[in-house]
Amino acid sequence: MHIRRTPRRPRTTATALAAAALLVSACSSGHSSTTGTGTVEAALAALPRSTPSALAPYYDQKLSWRDCGVSGFQCATMKAPLDYAEPGSGDIRLAVARVKATGKGKPLGSLLVNPGGPGGSAIAYVQLYAGLGYPAEVRARYDMVAMDPRGVARSEPVECLNGRQMDAFTQTDVTPDDQKETDALVGQFRKFAEGCGAHSPRLLRHVSTVEAARDMDILRAVLGDKQLNYVGASYGSFLGATYAGLFPDRSGRLVLDGAMDPSLHARELNLEQTAGFETAFQAFAKDCVRQTDCPLGGKGTTPAQVGDHLKAFFTKLDAHPVPAGDADGRKLGEALATTGVIAAMYDQAEWPQLRDALNSAMKENDGAGLLALSDSYYERGGDGQYTNLMSANAAVNCLDLPPAFNTPDQVEKSLPAFEKASPVFGKGLVWASLNCAYWPVRPTGEPHRIEAKGAAPIIVVGTTRDPATPYRWAQSLSRQLSSARLLTYVGDGHTAYGRGSTCIDSTIDTYLLKGTPPPAGKRCS
């Protein structure tokens, strides 16, 4: 499951090669079972209200804050048990950052933010955007706080492959046409998994969403807050919902934006997300044919024809990659081009850039534009090095849920369903779902419902044409959470808060500042 966030918007999803379980990871507490229809019967169980004595040293620790080089920000390191089942067996060090409340008025404590992933750096997000880009009224009353989850960025990161190995991984053909290409794809999945196991053998067993949520409760306590106030986007919504399920009495004002459905199995998640990308592509196609610079067809061209043209272009790249002006000699092949297109589906503001990139690649044999979109999505720097986004993404997803598929034969049998869900992206996304089959660590989580009985009102936000977290997921999560209020954004793009809707922003700001949730069924556009 990928992410890729810009200062203005976070994104999270699985795509291309490394997106094993695609978007979500789910963890359960206790036994979980399913009916014949796949409906999950078990709910995430709340932890005891009292803090176990073995965890007291963590809850009682004092953070040593220091200036961390970004104007107004302070940083600290927090300790948590690597294994909550054996708190005395070793610690993990977690990076925390904050910017103090800036204005007058009664302080509201801390507001923890997470941009998603799994694998996205919350600290980078808060320093680039949330610390200064959140509404002034919110920043005036809250200390803006971020913690990189265990295994991510500055918090003892999971490491798997070096830059050159990642280049090979991201360029591997994910739409194999024969046994040789299938073997090559499986070989890359195995190499990635083996790299993670070799470089992070112990940590790899302890990067689940449940453990990250428990870390958040330690942070809440050491910050001096009785309840956790939180804004989480995409995978961050699942992390926040998990916290509410484990600690309903300690859940304060929670915003779960671009919500995920924890009750789905990995195959269902991947299939529904594939359909979500098709929905977003259809919206792009309808807009594209109205533009004079659309490289995939003009006036009178149907969205289906636009999709056919794009597939034909991908097929051409599969056989003959085009130059991309890359210093490391990479060319634009089908895999990187597909990732570049998917990256632009997260935000309609990127559609003009995508049209430019497609025009250059299709008409001028210049793949630089699509390569740049792909690199930003994978968080590849100009020096050829990657952040640990992809490594942490797979590590969390493969621990949180059993694999969507265990063998290439299972993938083959599901091809028709995925290609029906998305004629353009279905084949690549179903093969990407095989990643966790070769993971060196057994999963610890299962699908489950999250009810969080007794929690304060929680806002669940869903966007009707969200590519990465389909709207149905927000509807489902809002039905599971006992105190949820569903807030709907009728529009395009991934997540809604801070993306230009005055209606969405004012509704969430009012909730964060006054604790007043929106009325049931509120819709914005």
Sign of the Cα torsion 425, 427, 430, 436 reads negative
Neighbours of 51 (CB within 10 A): 15
Confidence bin at 27 (pLDDT 50/70/90): very low
What's the rounded Cα separation, in Å, for the pair 478 and 56? 33
First to last CA, the chain: 28
Q: Is the pTM of this model over 0.75?
A: yes
Q: Could you tell me which residue, 40 or 426, shows the higher pLDDT?
A: 426
pLDDT reported for residue 157? 97
pLDDT reported for residue 41? 63
pLDDT reported for residue 71? 80
Q: What is the average pLDDT across 401-423? A: 98
What's the rounded Cα separation, in Å, for the pair 402 and 415? 19
Neighbours of 154 (CB within 10 A): 19
Q: Which residue type does 474 have?
A: A
Predicted confidence (pLDDT) at residue 83 exceeds the cutoff of 90: yes
Q: Which residue type does 506 have?
A: S
Residue 468 dihedral angles phi and psi, to the nearest 5°: -95, -35
95, containing H or E segment: strand 91-99
Helices (H), 379-449: 389-400, 408-421, 426-432
Predicted confidence (pLDDT) at residue 15 exceeds the cutoff of 70: no
- Bridge partners of residue 331, in order along the sequence: 323
* DSSP strands (E only) in 249-291: 251-257
Q: Could you tell me which residue, 437 or 103, shows the higher pLDDT?
A: 437
What's the rounded Cα separation, in Å, for the pair 228 and 252? 5
- Give the single-character DSSP code of 71: T
- Bridge partners of residue 145, in order along the sequence: 98, 112
Q: Could you tell me which residue, 358 or 131, shows the higher pLDDT?
A: 358
Predicted confidence (pLDDT) at residue 391 exceeds the cutoff of 90: yes
Is 494 known to be catalytic?
yes
CB 188 within 8 A of CB 169: yes
What is the tens place of the pLDDT at every residue in 498-522? 999 999 999 999 999 999 999 999 9
HSE-up of 122 (CA within 13 Å, CB side)?
A: 32
> Could you tell me the residue ranges of all domains in the chain?
1-296+389-525
pLDDT reported for residue 453? 98
Nearest CA to 235 out of 5, 519, 505, 482 is that of 5
Predicted confidence (pLDDT) at residue 21 exceeds the cutoff of 50: no
Predicted confidence (pLDDT) at residue 74 exceeds the cutoff of 80: yes
Q: What is the average pLDDT across 84-97? A: 96
pLDDT reported for residue 515? 97
What is the tens place of the pLDDT at every residue in 236-255? 999 999 999 999 999 999 99
Q: What is the average pLDDT across 287-297? A: 95
Choice among 208, 360, 494, 505 that is catalytic: 494
pLDDT reported for residue 180? 97
pLDDT reported for residue 10? 35
pLDDT reported for residue 147? 98
Predicted confidence (pLDDT) at residue 22 exceeds the cutoff of 60: no
Instruction: Return mean pLDDT, the chain.
Output: 91
Confidence bin at 13 (pLDDT 50/70/90): very low
Share of the chain above pLDDT 90, in %: 87
pLDDT reported for residue 39? 57
pLDDT reported for residue 29? 32
What is the tens place of the pLDDT at every residue in 438-461? 999 999 999 999 999 999 999 999
Helices (H), 436-489: 471-480
What is the tens place of the pLDDT at every residue in 176-234? 999 999 999 999 999 999 999 999 999 999 999 999 999 999 999 999 999 999 999 99
Lowest mean pLDDT among 121-135, 253-267, 306-320, 360-374: 121-135
CATH topology of domain 1-296+389-525: Rossmann fold (3.40.50)
Percent of the chain that is helix, strand, coil (3-state, to 5): 45, 15, 40
What's the rounded Cα separation, in Å, for the pair 281 and 344? 9
Predicted confidence (pLDDT) at residue 9 exceeds the cutoff of 50: no
Is 448 known to be catalytic?
no
pLDDT reported for residue 40? 59
Q: What is the average pLDDT across 30-35? A: 38
pLDDT reported for residue 77? 98
Predicted confidence (pLDDT) at residue 84 exceeds the cutoff of 70: yes
What's the rounded Cα separation, in Å, for the pair 28 and 446? 5
Choice among 234, 360, 374, 478 that is catalytic: 234
What's the rounded Cα separation, in Å, for the pair 427 and 408? 12
pLDDT reported for residue 314? 98
pLDDT reported for residue 20? 28
Q: Which residue type does 9 have?
A: R
What's the rounded Cα separation, in Å, for the pair 225 and 396? 27
Is 32 known to be catalytic?
no
Predicted confidence (pLDDT) at residue 34 exceeds the cutoff of 90: no
CB 524 within 8 A of CB 488: yes
Tokens for 422? Answer: 């998305």
Choice among 466, 483, 492, 505 that is catalytic: 466
Predicted confidence (pLDDT) at residue 170 exceeds the cutoff of 90: yes
Q: What is the average pLDDT across 460-481? A: 97
